[in-house]
């Protein structure tokens, strides 16, 4: 399962970095290359922005701290995977998705001192995000769901089913 996790990690980080490279090379900062609308209703656009912080620009300008947090998180997850503390396929893949996103954004911070974002949801006021962010969020949702389901199964096996 470790080999599969490494392959998925490399694939997700590569996808993230290639998309960001295409955005950087083809869309000026602040520019939009694509917009999807349904009639007069704007859905989303590909808009190149830069973020010197984390989600919602928190910790803006604290690049070293954000890199350190990402490194610690990646090391913890790698420890959990390599020491087989998480043995579930879903658990390992979820963690792999989360660290892939963390690594993708960390590479931007190291290389550019900021993160390249480009997916803009136009119908609500929401921060512009990127593929790496999607990996983190989807991985976290899947991991939390797996933890809950695993806990319910364990309780049922012990005869302490939820009521």
47-61 tens-digit pLDDT: 999 998 887 777 887
Band of residue 162 on the pLDDT scale cut at 50, 70, 90: low
- Is residue 162 included in any domain, yes or no? no
Residue 90 to residue 104: CA distance in whole angstroms: 21
Higher-pLDDT residue of 155 and 25 is 25
Choose among 43, 51, 42: nearest CA to 23. 51
Domain that holds residue 8: 2-157
Instruction: Kindly report the pTM of this predicted structure.
Output: 0.88
**pLDDT for the residue 161:** 53
**pLDDT for the residue 50:** 96
Would you call 16 a catalytic residue per the annotation?
no
Choose among 94, 117, 77: nearest CA to 8. 94
- Is residue 58 included in any domain, yes or no? yes
Band of residue 163 on the pLDDT scale cut at 50, 70, 90: low
CB 10 within 8 A of CB 103: no
Q: Kindly give, in sequence order, each residue whose CB lies less than 8 Å from that of residue 115, ignoring residues fewer than 6 positions away.
A: 50, 51, 52, 105, 108, 109, 130, 132
> Which among 40, 117, 125, 150 is annotated as catalytic?
117
> Which among 42, 133, 150, 151 is annotated as catalytic?
133
- Is residue 8 included in any domain, yes or no? yes
Q: What is the mean pLDDT of residues 125-149?
A: 95
- Is residue 40 included in any domain, yes or no? yes
- Is residue 104 included in any domain, yes or no? yes
Strands of the sheet containing 32-38, edge to edge, are: 32-38, 41-51, 115-121
**pLDDT for the residue 160:** 60
- Is residue 114 included in any domain, yes or no? yes
- Is residue 71 included in any domain, yes or no? yes
What is the total count of domains within the chain? 1
- Is residue 57 included in any domain, yes or no? yes
For residue 66, give both structure tokens: 């954000």
Would you call 125 a catalytic residue per the annotation?
no
- Three-class SS string for the chain? CHHHHHHHHHHHHHHHHHHHHHHHHHCCCCCEEEEEEECCEEEEEEEEEEECCCHHHCCCCCHHHHHHHHHHHHHHHHHHHHCCCCCCHHHHHHHHHHHHHHHHHHHHHHHHCCEEEEEEECCCCCCCECHHHHHHHHHHHHHHHHHHHHHHHHHHHCCCCCC
């Amino acid at each position: 399962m470790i080999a599969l996790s490494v392959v998925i990690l490399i694939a997700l980080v590569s996808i993230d970095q290639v998309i960001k490279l295409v955005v950087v090379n083809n869309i000026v900062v602040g520019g939009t290359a694509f917009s999807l609308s349904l009639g007069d209703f704007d859905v989303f656009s590909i808009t190149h922005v830069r973020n010197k912080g984390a989600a919602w620009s928190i910790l803006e300008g604290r690049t070293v701290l954000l890199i350190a947090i990402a490194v610690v998180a990646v090391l913890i997850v790698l420890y959990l995977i390599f020491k087989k503390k998480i043995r579930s396929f879903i658990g390992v893949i979820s963690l792999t998705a989360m660290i892939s996103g963390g690594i993708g954004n960390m590479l931007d911070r190291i290389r550019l001192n900021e993160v390249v974002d480009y997916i803009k949801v136009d119908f609500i006021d929401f921060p512009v995000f990127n593929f790496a962010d999607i990996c983190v969020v989807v991985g976290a949702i899947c991991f939390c769901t797996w933890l809950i389901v695993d806990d319910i199964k364990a309780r049922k096996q012990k005869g302490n089913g939820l009521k």
